[in-house]
Chains A and B, each alone.
Chain A
Amino acid sequence: MNVAKTASWIAGGLALAGTLAALAPPGKVRGFDVDGFARLPVLEGGRVKPIDSVARNTLLMIRSQQSFRHEGRTIGAEEWLLDVLFRPEVANAQPVFVINDPEVLGLIGLRQTSDRYFSFRTLAPHLGEIERQSQAAHPIDAKERTRFQSAIVNLFERVYLYYRLENTLQLAGSPGLAAELRDPRAEGAQERHRALSELSYFRPLPPPAGQAGDAWRSVGEALRAGTAGNVDPALDPLARLSRAYASRDPAGFNAAVADLGAVYASRRPEAVKQADHETVFNRAQPFYAGMVIYVLALLALFASWLWKPQILQPAAFGLLVAGALVHTGGLVSRVILQGRPPVTNLYSSAVFVGWVAVILGVVLERLYRRGFGTAVAAASGFASLIVAHHLTGDGDTMEMMRAVLDSNFWLATHVVTITIGYSGTFLAGAIAIGYTFRRQFAPRLDPATSKALVSMAYGVICFALLFSFVGTVLGGIWADQSWGRFWGWDPKENGALLIVLWNAIILHARWGGYAREKGIMAMAIFGNVITSLSWFGVNMLGVGLHSYGFMDKAFWALFGFIASQLLLMALCLLPRQFWRPASSRAGEEATGTV
């Protein structure tokens, strides 16, 4: 085995080992089997998921993070949720509500300081005012709300979510679940049970084996339906678990978790298995790990241009392949967990776009072996996973599909092909950006590499045209099947059409000889603008039948991206190293080193 191969195997192997290390089961938190609790399945948002997912997603919605530091130690999402459920007085003191809007802060009598996180206890005296302001803003269409109105509605929704969580298993401030079970006819019990069933955020009680898979019940429903001899078997361990956690009794807690697990295993073994898988997936954070590995690959590649390319370039490629494997693993897990094709929402489209770009980049690197495939693949993979990371704030990324989208056939054909089309266009743009940097900043150019880059970009554009065309027309056929209109000029359809048209223009301009090397590359960069507009921009318009992907926060990010691409186009079209005096450039161009 030669040096290059060894370097790439070692680099890739280390990256994979680092990722796998995250899968090791976590230890007990102060003796409590938090992990065992987090793996229990519940029904929330229409699907069965582990408590771990509920904890992560809700903390993400409330605080925009999956863990936080408080009083000198890091509190994970699962531990936070345990406190919310069973020790509300502790949870209420933890600063989990992030508030950025100065007007909202002013409303609750706080000043904007470096600390943007507030506890429920801090907010509690102002709940009435928050609710009043939010109710006033609520009837206004989401697109037409002012910044303050959006922020206050958002804060109220988060506070209400928190409040529902607190009252899911037992009413906060009541004697607790054990007391409810002991005396179901106590004074006010009926009202409490009703409140519990109305407020509960998730449904923890699995249906018996014979019943429908989604007939899970909340604690309130079970208490109301329960008669003397017919109490849901999960309620008793749940009550013990609650008491043990509140009274800081790890042994009792762990025993109750084990009992609860046994009930689930006997009633819904498949749900337990599914929740187990999902917990592992959550913990591994494959897309986060992939992001880190892609950055390492990029760094190794940059370093290789300065030092020991014969070792570092293969090492970068090894890292890229490791990143691609982790990325693929994550993607496949999502497909298995959800039972759906890979792209089901904006978040997963970002993950998938990156994945396709990386795979194409690996292929290009094998074909051309100049390090450019690695560079663009790692950069695209990293960029798309960053985008995906910022799209997770809405909570569950595996939410159920709305009726019109509920078709695995069309999700697998139209959505996947169109997303591959996005990927191809972005990859061509990334190659063109690489070309631009090289042209402007590399100390020496050889025409062969430039030619290789142009032919790479050309091939990728052909690929992108094929997939975006097929995807667009398949979308039309789906529309014909579900709305009766092959083509409705809906913004999302138009966006897809723009990509097709632009790629067709690039190819025709090349065939006609109207655009040469630089021109084609600048056009390929503009493809990034078109694709970003089609992917995210049309969602911001908020019209049309595709409004399920609506988002308003990313406007400035998109704006910045487009501005950067236009600058890069200008850089691409300017003469090589335009900042140097023309006389010193002329000699170089004449000798044909451009």
Chain B
Amino acid sequence: MTKPLRTRAWDAITSLKLTIACLSFLMVLVVLCTLAQVELGTFGAVNKYIKSFLVWWDVPGTLWMIPVLPGGALVGLVLAVNLVAAQGRRLELSWKKSGLWIIHAGLILLIAGEFVSSVFQVESQMAIEEGQTLNYIEGRDLELAVMDVTDPAFDEVYSIPDSRLARGGTIAVPGTPVSFQVKAYYRNAELAPRGPQDPPSPADRGVGASVAVRPMPPVSRDDQVNQTAAFVEAVAGGRSYGTWLASNVLGAPQSFVHEGRTYVLALRPRRQYLPYAVTLKKFSHDVYAGTDIPKNFSSLVHLSNPSRGERRDVLIYMNQPLRYDGKAFYQASFGKNDTLSILQVVENPGWLLPYISCVLVTLGLLVHFTITMRRSARRRQGAQEA
């Protein structure tokens, strides 16, 4: 007699074979992800193998993509379901099994934590020079910032994400009469002064007219940055204000005036403004005497939050981040002859989960192995007495 389909599915979901299959797939994915980091960089490899539901293979020479493996997210999900289901079905609630219960609860929490991080974790940077005060952090992605600088007391900043630029078409900037028509977008490009044999630039205004833009493949290494370039035509009130070149490697501000209001254009790392300000008072970089082995990096910053009436100095150094207002500021890098400090800023609502899970699993493993060891010791003793 064959079992009904529901029973068979339930058997499959709760089976130990599925657990082993998931763990094996996870091993394969982890190996592939590690090897791929040489080519794709950490972010690329993790996105391809771990933070995906399916791993796609581009068939060479065609536009086809074939899923070849389940991705880390799918495996993680199946493993979590398997864990919960098997736990409910097979393991009786007894002291003998208490260790396994704790271990598996901890593991579920660990997988959940990884999901929470991959969805909600935001990593940004704050590159701050000595004496400088900043009230924003910058992300990895870019934005086309349109700033209305007419009022000398404050700027109004409108932001268009570069993923929107990549899609092309016409983009209206809400709250302003301005809209942009994307003429071209290059995720990575080489910018050079335009020579006599270069084709004419699509840009007819600003610095872009004298720059030649050559498309390049996007960079993969984590320490490299894409030089993104976009040609956009600014339109306001039915009138064209010319085509501009925007790029994160262009330094000079470019602006146009429409009905008495001045708009500045800049393609820059996406900014998130903070309700508080950070001033870098001093960056220190010590080395061991007679060597160039770094001994310590530290940033002495002043934190000022008028809305909470908070003003205090904080020393951020290796293994000692500043956790404030849901964000954590870490000493990440430095530059400009030790006057520039780069802080990594991470916001992860699930940061506490792995800590709890670690304690649970460790405790569970200890309990379980103690129970099994005592049992086997008793058995051995019994065998000797017999």
What residues make up the interface of A, taking CB atoms closer than 8 Å to B?
Answer: 43-47, 202-203, 214-216, 399-400, 402-404, 406-407, 410, 455, 459, 462-463, 465-466, 469-470, 473-474, 476-478, 480-491, 494-495, 497-498, 501-502, 504-505, 508-509, 511-512, 514, 538, 541-544
Contact = CB atoms under 8 A, between A and B. Distances in A.
18 contacts: A45-B290, A46-B293, A400-B288, A403-B295, A466-B362, A466-B369, A470-B365, A473-B110, A473-B357, A485-B346, A489-B33, A497-B30, A498-B27, A498-B31, A505-B27, A509-B20, A514-B16, A542-B38
Given A399-B293, A466-B369, A490-B42, A501 B319 contact: no
Contacts of A400: 288, 291, 293, 295
A501 B30 contact: yes
Contacts of B23: 501, 504-505, 508
B24 interface: yes
B315 interface: no
Contacts of A486: 113, 117, 348, 351, 354
Given A469-B362, A484-B330, A544-B37, 13 more contacts: A44-B290, A203-B290, A399-B293, A400-B288, A402-B293, A406-B318, A481-B320, A482-B330, A485-B121, A490-B42, A494-B34, A498-B30, A509-B20
Contacts of B320: 481
Given A481-B321, A544-B37, A508 B358 contact: no
A544 B332 CA distance: 14
Closest 5 CB pairs of A and B: A46-B288, A484-B346, A214-B289, A512-B16, A473-B358
Contacts of A514: 16-17, 20
Contacts of A469: 361-362, 365
Nearest to B16: A512
A541 B328 contact: no
Nearest to B35: A541
Nearest to B288: A46
Interface in B14-50: 16-17, 19-20, 23-24, 26-27, 30-31, 33-35, 37-38, 42, 45-46, 50
Given A481-B321, A508-B23, A473 B290 contact: no
A477 B354 contact: yes
Contacts of B37: 489, 491, 541, 543-544
A494 B318 contact: no
A591 to B, nearest CB: 23
A550 to B, nearest CB: 13
Contact residues of B: prevailing secondary structure: helix
B123 A462 contact: no
B294 interface: yes
B344 interface: yes
A482 B319 contact: yes
A483 B348 CA distance: 13
Most buried by A among B26, B117, B319: B319
A410 B319 CA distance: 10
A487 B321 CA distance: 16
Contacts of A544: 37, 42
Most buried by B among A203, A410, A504, A514: A504
B335 to A, nearest CB: 16
B355 A477 contact: yes
A502 B35 CA distance: 18
Contacts of A477: 354-355, 358
B334 to A, nearest CB: 11
Contacts of A216: 289-290
B42 A512 contact: no
Contact of A481 (B19, B50, B319): B319
Nearest to A463: B369
Interface string B289-312: 111011111000000000000000
A483 B330 CA distance: 6
A487 B76 CA distance: 15
Nearest to A473: B358
A407 B320 CA distance: 11
Contacts of B362: 466, 469-470, 473
A580 B353 CA distance: 57
A489 B291 contact: no
B338 to A, nearest CB: 13
A491 B46 CA distance: 11
A478 B376 CA distance: 36
Contacts of A489: 30, 33-34, 37, 42, 45-46, 50
B233 interface: no
B66 interface: no
B358 A474 contact: yes
A572 B296 CA distance: 51
B330 A473 contact: no
A471 to B, nearest CB: 10
A451 to B, nearest CB: 11
A120 to B, nearest CB: 24
B373 interface: yes
Contacts of B46: 489
B143 interface: no
Contacts of A501: 23, 26-27, 30
Given A466-B366, A478-B319, A494-B34, A45 B291 contact: yes
B346 A505 contact: no
Given A403-B318, A470-B358, A489-B45, A46 B30 contact: no
Most buried by B among A483, A502, A544: A483
